[in-house]
Chain A
Amino acid sequence: MNSDKNKIKGLFDEAPILTDQQALWERIEAELPKEKKKRVAIWWWGSIGVVLLLSMGVWWVTNTNAGTKNEASDIVKSQNPLVENLAVAESKEAIDFNENKKNELVETPIVKHEKSVTEKKETTSTSLTSKKSIAEKTKTETPILTTKTIADRPVFEKENKVKFIEIEKTDKNLKIENTHPLAFLPLKKQVIVSSQLGKNILTNGDVLPIRKLESTSAFIQPVSSEKWSVEVAGGIDFASRKLNAGDVTFKTLKSQFETQENGFSGELILKYQVLPKLKIGAGIQYQRAVERLDWEGIVSVNTSPVLSDSATYFTYQSTNHYQEGELTQTETTYGKIRHYNTINSIHIPVLVNYELLRTGRFSVDLGAGIHINLSNKARGKFLLPDNSIDKSNSDNIFKSSGIHQAMFGISTQYHLNRQWAILMNTQYISALSTNYQSTISMDQRWNQWRLNLGIGLKL
């Protein structure tokens, strides 16, 4: 029996002549999921490049400003004679307050500061010559020197957009306590303005050797005042996604799905004013939305007996498995299936804002930029036509993706005062690229509308 078995096996081992192997491959390839396009990678690198360029731009602009800090402080002083006078007065008070230091501090060129601002250079140089003697004399003593506040300090601060800093002097050092609300920012952006110097002190809560400080009385003025702003906003989102079938299983059902999403989002955007009407910004957004997906799918599979007991019907179940069963036939019913996904996503927007108009307290900005949606995770559930949950399909979708979107929007602002504003942002965020969701075998393009309300704070 083995001999005939070998002969018969040999009969079927010859391959058929296949002249159109390429044609068959093309048919197969057409049904395969689309290959991930390198364009996605290009977008990633492009986004990183834009972010780097913007960062460099901000760095360049801010450092250019940093070089003019002294000038800025001078301007503050010259524009606000009160600053000069009060600072001088405060300086005197400080000296009076610490009587132990009176003799030493007499050497500080207060008198010079009582002159005009134009004599500042001379003042500074005098200051520099005198600081050594101050440092030497303070070595031997352990005085406590605290800036004495002026009576109308809050009004003064508000009117002149400055903040006092507290200075505490120990034997060798002066501790500077910055009370400005933006003290967390690098103090390169801030300038010490005092009666005795117009010099920058790059510290916050740090301990400085006394020789580096030429005054015991000071307040700070952010150089970049009104250039930096922070916007915090939150609101509702309306989104739609176009999903194209990327898999043969879905293609046989329906080639495209429209989805609806409603949700909410919150954002924090930091903006920098490059030109009088132009701002650049970047930030972070969190979005949570519920996606509703309606599509045609298998609602039920009914089996019923078809033949007598003398025969067996077998049912193909999966790729390589036949399930035992009775003599039955199957009837598949297709119907509308509703699928809900809860989507949590984090966006990194990078944008440019242009002030279109400003009338009174109102202003309207036009914004455009890109969104990098770093993660997008969802857990889903299927609802059958009777709104019952299809437990076999629920909670089994977990997807993560990165997409790129272009944002275009209008921001209307009502300015409560020079610092605070109420915002209303309307944005349309459109997909720049299509990404493939392997778990649901879909290519998706994500477009959405966003309406946000929030507050803005100029720093």
Chain B
Amino acid sequence: MNLNKTIKACQKNDRKAQFALYEAYAAIVIRTCERYTEDLPTAKDLSQLTFLKIFKNLNQFNAQKGNFESWIRRIAINECLQFLRKKRHLLFVEHFNENEMESVEELNTTDIDNERLKQFIEALPKGYRTIFLLFQVEEYSHKEIGSFLNISESTSRSQYFKARKMLKQKIEDFLSKKTNLAK
């Protein structure tokens, strides 16, 4: 698929081109939406809104500012964040304690299987999980996350380390239980 030609055709409301674009990026969009929502049906609803926004705003895409996939992912993330905000799942306390950062150490992810680790992350409170995913998976900086969520960079950093701390605690609890059972 020639991306530039497809985008131009989509801007002219060419249905075939729009479907080609959808086919190429559907998995990425749905995967991104699923990360921030609780279930696949919601992820699909958000994916639908994401694609409508994509088609409507294709003229705003600037290849010099970033690649198309990043642009699409960002729209998907925005849709998810908007959804979470509507559901009142995202409320952040503007509070930052430097001591929290000092107490965070590296996560022990080597002794835990992937599925369990994913479950622990998904079980984090939505605010923590959102910032954790934005930083850890999407690889946005705290400054960028702050601008997404309209919070300060330090708040983003604080929420991230709290999430990390909580995750670490869960992993440690799980591993200690596992060790005790083994004994």
Chain A contacts to B: CB under 8 angstroms:
1, 3-5, 7-16, 18, 21, 24-25, 27-29, 31-33, 35-36, 248, 307, 310-316, 319-325
Contact = CB atoms under 8 A, between A and B. Distances in A.
B5 interface: no
Contacts of B95: 310
A8 B137 contact: yes
Given A4-B107, A248-B52, 17 more contacts: A4-B109, A5-B136, A8-B121, A8-B136, A9-B136, A16-B40, A21-B23, A28-B22, A31-B52, A35-B13, A35-B15, A310-B94, A312-B151, A312-B155, A316-B78, A319-B57, A322-B150
List 3 A-B pairs, minimum CB-CB distance, nearest first.
Answer: A314-B150, A15-B27, A4-B109
B91 A36 contact: no
B68 interface: no
A18 B29 CA distance: 12
Contact of B78 (A33, A248, A319): A319
B105 to A, nearest CB: 9
A322 B110 CA distance: 37
A313 B60 CA distance: 27
Contacts of B15: 29, 32, 35
A320 B137 contact: no
B53 A319 contact: yes
Given A32-B52, A322-B81, A15 B150 contact: no
Contacts of A29: 15, 18-19
Nearest to A310: B93
A27 B22 CA distance: 12
Contact of A16 (B19, B43, B85): B43
B82 A316 contact: yes
Contacts of A313: 91, 150
Interface of B: 13-15, 18-19, 22-23, 26-28, 30-31, 34-35, 40, 43-44, 47-48, 51-53, 55, 57, 60, 74-75, 78, 81-82, 85, 90-95, 106-110, 114, 117-118, 121, 133, 136-137, 139, 147-151, 155
Contacts of A248: 52
Given A3-B109, A35-B15, A16 B31 contact: yes
Nearest to B95: A310
Nearest to A441: B56
Most chain B Cβ neighbours within 10 Å, of A3, A24, A310: A24
Q: Which of B26, B52, B78, B150 has the most CB of A within 10 A?
A: B150
A35 B14 contact: yes
A contact patch SS = mixed
Given A18-B30, A25-B22, A320 B94 contact: no
A248 B151 CA distance: 31
Given A27-B48, A248-B52, A319-B57, A32 B147 contact: no
Contact of B85 (A3, A8, A13, A316): A316
Contacts, number: 121
24 contacts: A3-B109, A3-B110, A4-B106, A4-B109, A7-B114, A8-B117, A8-B136, A14-B31, A16-B34, A18-B27, A21-B26, A24-B26, A24-B48, A25-B22, A25-B26, A32-B15, A311-B93, A312-B92, A316-B81, A322-B147, A322-B148, A322-B149, A323-B150, A325-B150
A320 B78 contact: yes
B26 A31 contact: no
Contacts of A32: 13, 15, 18, 52, 55
B169 to A, nearest CB: 15
A434 B31 CA distance: 39
Contacts of A4: 106-109
Contact of B35 (A3, A7, A12, A321): A12
Contacts of A12: 31, 35, 118, 133, 137
Contacts of A5: 136
Contacts of A11: 114, 117-118, 121
Contacts of A10: 114
Contacts of B109: 3-4, 7-8
B72 to A, nearest CB: 10
A89 B173 CA distance: 130
B29 to A, nearest CB: 10
Determine which residue in A7, A13, A310 has the highest number of CB atoms from chain B within 10 A of its CB, and name it: A7
Contacts of B94: 310-312
A16 B137 CA distance: 16
Contacts of A311: 91-94
B52 A28 contact: yes
A27 B48 CA distance: 7
Contacts of B114: 7, 10-11
A13 B28 CA distance: 9
B158 to A, nearest CB: 12
Nearest to A31: B52
Nearest to A9: B137
B75 A319 contact: yes
A15 B19 CA distance: 19
B26 A18 contact: yes
Nearest to A11: B118
A55 B14 CA distance: 36
B150 A312 contact: yes
A229 B116 CA distance: 89
